[in-house]
Amino acid sequence: MFIVNNYATAIIFCIITMLCWGSWANTQKLAEKTWRFELFYWDYVIGIWLFSVISALTLGSFGLHGRPFTEDLMQADSANISSALWGGVIFNAANILFSAAIAIAGMAVAFPLGIGVALILGVILNYAVSQKGDPLFIFAGVALITLAIVFNAVAYKRAHGGNKKVSTRAIALCLLAGLLMSFFYRFIAASMDIDNFEHPQIGKMTPYTAVFIFSTGIFLSNFIFNTLLIKKPFSGEPTSYAAYFRGKPATHLTGVMGGLIWGLGNSLNLIAAGKAGPAISYGLGQGATLVAALWGVFIWKEFKHSAKPVNKLLIWMFTFFIVGLALIIYAGK
């Protein structure tokens, strides 16, 4: 299987993760014009699962290092399989809440609140279990990225003149999603031999197998979570599976593409975790908040015609973000 052998490559993979995790929601934004997010979400989950299969049967099965996917899956013990499955269930619950928050409040509100909470708590949890990297630089970087998220939220509020109110329900969804999101990564990492992908411990899994089991957990739990949501949505009228199957192929493909993008980022992040450590790998990946902000600024024009004070806030936001990322990257050296 393919293994990352140096820290520089691991960092590149984490940056790609950040781009993927910060970009997948654009497919939801494109689909929401004609498609309910509950229906979009099924295609998104299918995309995540498909990528895990493709990754496992290609990069996870060829090469001279580590155990190939099928051999690794057969030897994995039940405790580690269960851990990765639970990671998928927890992630799915968090991501459904997060997707609902995006549908209600938009990317510019959901990402800073939801992923901001996930970033802070997730880095603390992952570092507590696997202490790779200098904690001073890791947490200084997280603090600056958190500050950048705050600047992003303030800039958004000022750009809309304080007139665009966010409901209490949307804020609650964001915070609960962020809390759950901070836990899922730990369950996947616990199922792998994070310190030795080349000769993993018996019973533990390689990243490719762990991602497949994790994605299967997402897929299976979606029959419960998303079915409930289809019948009792957070906003709007209930929809149905009949409406899902009436969707156009291009509409379904948009959701699947979103899942493929997120799945690519997730796989690369876990492959990188062996060299970078879970805290650094997860922390860089969750810098996705500011990637989403870039989409909002330059593509979706969410800050169009903003006053100079707002533009200054955006400059500070990107400055703190870049410096924060640099500190997290330096922490692993």
Q: Are 104 and 170 in contact (CB under 8 A)?
A: yes
Q: Write the burial class of residue 6 (CB in 10 Å: 0-12 exposed, 13-18 middle, 19+ buried).
A: exposed
pTM to 2 decimals?
0.89
And the tokens for 31?
Answer: 């689909």
Q: Which of 23, 294, 326 is nearest to 152 (CA)?
A: 294
Between CA 299 and CA 293 the distance in angstroms is 10
322: which residues sit within 8 A by CB, 6+ positions away?
none
Name the residue ranges covered by the structural domains of the chain. Answer: 7-331
- Can you give the pLDDT of all 333 residues of the chain as single tens digits? 999 989 999 999 999 999 999 899 889 888 887 899 899 999 999 999 999 999 999 999 998 888 999 999 999 999 999 999 999 999 999 989 988 887 777 766 777 778 788 888 999 999 988 888 999 999 999 999 888 878 877 887 777 665 556 677 888 888 899 999 999 999 999 999 998 998 999 999 999 999 999 999 999 999 999 999 999 998 789 999 999 999 999 999 999 999 999 999 999 999 999 999 999 999 898 888 778 777 877 777 766 766 778 888 888 988 998 898 889 989 987
Q: Which of 267, 263, 295, 220 is nearest to 4 (CA)?
A: 267
CA-CA-CA-CA torsion sign (287, 179, 41, 281)? positive
Q: Are 27 and 258 in contact (CB under 8 A)?
A: yes
DSSP state of 297: I
And the tokens for 203?
Answer: 């019973």
Alpha-carbon Rg of the chain, whole angstroms?
19
Instruction: Please tell me the chain's helix, strand, coil percentages from 3-state DSSP, rounded to the nearest 5.
Output: 75, 0, 25
Q: How far apart are the first and last CA of the chain?
A: 25
Residue found by looking up tokens 């994790």 in the block: 214
Bridge partners of 176, per DSSP, are: none
Q: Are 110 and 94 in contact (CB under 8 A)?
A: no
Between CA 212 and CA 82 the distance in angstroms is 12
pLDDT at 169: 82
And the tokens for 242?
Answer: 């009949």
